[in-house]
Copies of this chain bind each other. A is one copy, B any other.
Amino acid sequence: VRRKNLRVQDFVQGVLAQDRTVLGRAITLVESNVPAHMERAQRMLKELIPHTGNSVRVGITGVPGAGKSTFIEALGSLLCDRGHKVAVLAVDPSSSLTRGSILGDKTRMQNLSRNKNAFIRPSPSSGVLGGVTRKSRETMLICEAAGFDVILVETVGVGQSETEVRSMVDFFLLVLIAGAGDELQGMKKGIMELADAILINKADGDNKQRAEMARSEFERIIHYLLPATEGWTTQALTASSLTGDKIPDVWQTVEDFKANTMASGVFQRRRNAQTVRWVHSMVDDYLRTAFYGNPTVKAMIPGIESDVVEGNLSPTQAVQKLVQEYENHRKANS
């Protein structure tokens, strides 16, 4: 199939046949912002959706320096050895600014990237988080259609990215290292209550005992927090991505979680709710973009905001003014 001639059916067949080249191009298609590409991407997705869902989706976040990518390399390699097909994706809203702060450099996962059962895809580079997560969700679906049964979604603790990733995965893992109680510095508020497990990484050598102490401390804290998943007690674990020690235990936790939530129905209920919420959040994005991108609104916003802050306008009046001008502008242009 020549590059220019790939039709929707070629994409669908290629992905279902687990053709790596076509898979990569299919993801590039959903990442494109060109309207004609977007239209084709959606027709392709419609065909692929019946073949999706047969995977466990694991979100992985953590503080910088916690060794997320070493961990993903260790876990991913283990799973590939066991015959799983592992797709590693990234959601990094900052990547357009930092030129790919995570997963941009595949050399960070040298072994995994060479494994024929693994597929590593860096974060799409749209600067808009809503756009990044839409693309990551669709990429996840395409990977599932291509037979990947483990999806690892790595994210950094920037802005809303953890919440967004939590809303697209089954299981959410927070990777930390032993420290002086400052483990969560710079992380999003409430991050612990998003996690189904907290992993203290780098539990090796001199650090092993400190990691174990941090683990018990987090176990105490978890006790005071709300569980992220109905019927599942958040776990506190240690492991070493360097030596591979207890990496199998981390995966066992994911397996236990899957068995537990599938039996209770929570697994499927959450996936359905995630899908519906995804639709609603895309609607919200559309509405907000239409409003705040409207030239009249755009021009008014700075003045309105300072009028409100300075007390020259009540907040409700500010909204009335903005909405009125917005509606007038739309009517005049429809």
Contact = CB atoms under 8 A, between A and B. Distances in A.
A225 B304 contact: no
Contact of A283 (B53, B188, B317, B323): B323
Interface in A39-68: 42, 45-46, 49-50, 52-53
A274 to B, nearest CB: 10
Nearest to A305: B276
Contact of A282 (B183, B228, B315): B315
A282 B190 contact: no
Interface residue SS majority, chain A: helix
A226 interface: yes
Contacts of A223: 181
A194 B50 CA distance: 42
Contacts of A189: 190, 193-194, 225-226, 228
Interface string A295-316: 0000000001100110101111
A242 interface: no
B318 A279 contact: yes
Which range contains the number of A residues in contact with the other chain? 35 or more
A49 B311 contact: yes
A279 B308 contact: yes
A46 B276 contact: no
Contact of A134 (B49, B134, B316): B316
Nearest to A271: B309
A184 interface: yes
B46 A319 contact: no
A255 to B, nearest CB: 25
A323 B49 CA distance: 21
A284 B284 contact: yes
A278 B315 contact: yes
Given A52-B311, A226-B187, A317-B42, A284 B279 contact: no
A47 B17 CA distance: 69
Looking at A137, A224, A228, A330, the one whose CB has the most chain B CB atoms below 10 A away is: A224
A138 interface: yes
Contacts of A138: 314, 316
Given A181-B224, A322-B283, A309 B42 contact: no
Given A279-B308, A330-B334, A334-B334, 6 more contacts: A45-B317, A181-B223, A184-B225, A185-B226, A190-B190, A283-B319
17 contacts: A46-B313, A138-B314, A181-B223, A183-B224, A184-B226, A189-B193, A220-B220, A220-B221, A221-B224, A275-B309, A276-B305, A279-B318, A282-B316, A283-B322, A283-B323, A286-B319, A330-B334
Top 3 A-B pairs, shortest CB-CB distance: A190-B190, A189-B193, A287-B287
